[in-house]
Structure 1
Amino acid sequence: MNEQFGVCNLSLVPIRTEPSDKSEMSSQLLFGDHFTILENTGKWLKILTAHDEYEGWIDIKQFDEIEHSLFVALHDLNTILGPFVSNFITKVSANEKLHLVAGSNIPNTLDKFFYLGNTKYKLEGETFRPTIDNFRSSVIEVAKFYLNAPYLWGGKSVFGIDCSGLTQMVFRHFGLKLRRDAYQQAEQGELVAFLQGAQGGDLAFFDNEDGRITHVGIMLDNERIIHASGQVRIDGIDNQGIFDKGLNRYTHKLRIIKRIVV
């Protein structure tokens, strides 16, 4: 059987753990995210995302099928929408607006027009090509764009986001690919030996009582962290972990700190 490929043609599409509307959402696709189709039930697709090699199920009505040549090309079309709440494109044939979230992938445009599959769109706004060159100077500003976003398991937007979704989306704005889950991200980068040596943009990981890494946040400096817990928030951190002043207690136990951009 020949491989089949798809691309997300909507603003946010839930990836579910099982082929059911009642199944939990484990992640999301943003517009322009592409993937390999692993299984087709007629109602659901099991997919493997190209960005972070994440498996899950999406509704068969929430994608466009694409040729392998476009699938390959989308690997290199690293042009995205910036950290702004108001982003939209127009579906030309129907003259319909499609509101998109920050970090959505937009193929190269010609006079503001582009194709995704067989559909023609018009870009209403600006895109940019992410680069790590300004990571240290801009990572905190981008992270704060998501400040106060509500916590949503599997979420990846300012309207709802989880802890590893936050880190993944912030790093996406610099062309850096993080895996989807916190324990997977903990396997990336280089170890920072001491909290005192942490820099803005380093990732701090936290474990549960069983020693499993279950939480991640972005260091603002060696005393503060931005993370998604109830909402995207800024808290103090020390060698013991994250201290929530509102609750007057530690909420997360520090395990390790990793540096992705050396």
Structure 2
Amino acid sequence: MKAIVNNKIVNLHAKPDTTSELIDEVLYGMVVDVLEFCDESWVRIQTTYRYEGYCLKEKLLIDEEKSLKWQEEAKNVIIQNFSDILAGPKIQSTKIATLVKGSFVTIVEDSELDQEWAKVKLASGEVGYTRSYWVRQTISERVSEEEFRENVVQTALSYLTTPYRWGGKSPLGIDCSGLCSMAYMLNGVLIYRDAKIVEGFPIKQIEFDQIQKGDLLYFPGHIAMYMGDGLYVHSSLGGNEVSINSLNENHPHYRKDLATSITAVGSLFAKELVH
């Protein structure tokens, strides 16, 4: 049974209990698979990137037919940190909803609108308006490798200073793997949600001397995105926010604890490392 995430941010827990560990967040408009109805309040779900956890049933629109239709139609994603969906195409209009970066909507064609506003449809069927430059079509065609590498780094950098949140995946708070997975998702690629390389996902291990911009650095329990010139961007529990550090010991933002504990380097543009 498929369902649509029908709240701005829905917590995904390790157990069907609001006090259990937050392991992920699913964002508005994402389509998930309902694997199990635990009780009247909780369901176990699986995301499109094959992550499983428990969430409150009331946060989902559980309907197979509507979900499949939405999955086909919702080809637009919010790219602004926060985007108000308004009842009309003017800033004074009533707010219908507020969505965060990574949420999915459908753009409704309307030739009468100017370029400032986009008419969008929500999962509920309700129609509203948001700034046209705050929403874009999801990426279906692969750009050049060079352009992708630049885009994914710039997307990760757009979360700079976002507070660290265990299990977080939005501009309200994000963790290390949330940052990297969202940067890739917003550029059309689904990677594994946790800080490790997993078979069946597109990131493959490479040698350290092959590392390029946009590749991923793996540490014990941590992941970062390489920016080039020895720099990397990451969401660090120690730093409490998304920040930039360096692998160069002569750089003022050098972190010895990370620079000396790299366990793997992963890339979208390489065959799996042969040992």
TM-score (normalised: structure 2) = 0.79
- Contact in 2 for aligned 1:10/1:98 (Cα 8 Å): no
1:157 is the counterpart of 2:170: yes
Give, in whole Å, the separation in 1 of the partners of 2:40 and 2:262: 45
Q: Can you give the 5+ residue segments of structure 2 that lack an aligned partner in the other structure?
A: 89-93, 111-118, 271-275
Query: What is the letter of the counterpart of residue 85 of structure 1?
Result: N
Query: What is the letter of the counterpart of residue 102 of structure 1?
Result: K
1:191 is the counterpart of 2:205: yes
Counterparts in 2 of 1:160-179, with a 5 A limit? 160-179=173-192
| 2:230 alignment partner in structure 1 | 223
1:15 is the counterpart of 2:12: yes
Moved more, 161-170 or 58-67: 58-67
1:110 is the counterpart of 2:74: no
Displacement of 1:136 after TM fit?
Answer: 2.5
- Contact in 1 for aligned 2:153/2:183 (Cα 8 Å): no
| 2:243 alignment partner in structure 1 | 233
Match of 1:206 among 192, 216, 219: 219
Query: What is the letter of the counterpart of residue 110 of structure 1?
Result: E
Residues 76-100 of structure 1 deviation map (CA, whole Å, 9 limit, x = unaligned):
7432111x223122479xx643111
Query: What is the letter of the counterpart of residue 28 of structure 1?
Result: E
| Aligned residue pair count | 244
TM-score (normalised: structure 1) = 0.82
- Contact in 1 for aligned 2:106/2:120 (Cα 8 Å): no
Residues 97-134 of structure 1 deviation map (CA, whole Å, 9 limit, x = unaligned):
31111111113423314242x43131312321243413
Give, in whole Å, the separation in 2 of the partners of 1:247 and 1:236: 5
1:98 is the counterpart of 2:108: no
- Contact in 2 for aligned 1:47/1:58 (Cα 8 Å): yes
Give, in whole Å, the separation in 2 of the partners of 1:148 and 1:173: 19
Displacement of 1:217 after TM fit?
Answer: 0.7
Moved more, 98-107 or 72-81: 72-81
Match of 1:128 among 136, 159, 164: 136
- Contact in 1 for aligned 2:246/2:254 (Cα 8 Å): no
Give, in whole Å, the separation in 2 of the partners of 1:32 and 1:123: 16
Q: Can you give the 5+ residue segments of structure 1 that lack an aligned partner in the other structure?
A: 208-213
| 1:142 alignment partner in structure 2 | 155
Give, in whole Å, the separation in 2 of the partners of 1:137 and 1:216: 18
Query: What is the letter of the counterpart of residue 255 of structure 1?
Result: T
Query: What is the letter of the counterpart of residue 101 of structure 1?
Result: V
1:86 is the counterpart of 2:82: yes
- Contact in 1 for aligned 2:9/2:25 (Cα 8 Å): yes
1:29 is the counterpart of 2:43: no
Give, in whole Å, the separation in 1 of the partners of 2:43 and 2:154: 37
Displacement of 1:158 after TM fit?
Answer: 1.6
Secondary structure of 2:23's aligned partner:
strand
Displacement of 1:66 after TM fit?
Answer: 2.3
Decide whether aligned partners of structure 1 residues 205 and 248 sit closer, same or farther in structure 2, where only a CA change above 3 A counts.
closer
Displacement of 1:144 after TM fit?
Answer: 1.0
Query: What is the letter of the counterpart of residue 190 of structure 1?
Result: K
- What is the percent sequence identity of the aligned residues? 24
| 1:211 alignment partner in structure 2 | none
- Contact in 1 for aligned 2:49/2:191 (Cα 8 Å): yes
Secondary structure of 2:35's aligned partner:
strand
User: What CA RMSD, in Å, does the superposition of the two structures yield over aligned residues?
Assistant: 2.6
- Contact in 2 for aligned 1:243/1:249 (Cα 8 Å): no
Query: What is the letter of the counterpart of residue 35 of structure 1?
Result: V
Displacement of 1:221 after TM fit?
Answer: 0.6
Q: Which of the two has greater strand per residue?
A: 1
Give, in whole Å, the separation in 1 of the partners of 2:99 and 2:85: 7
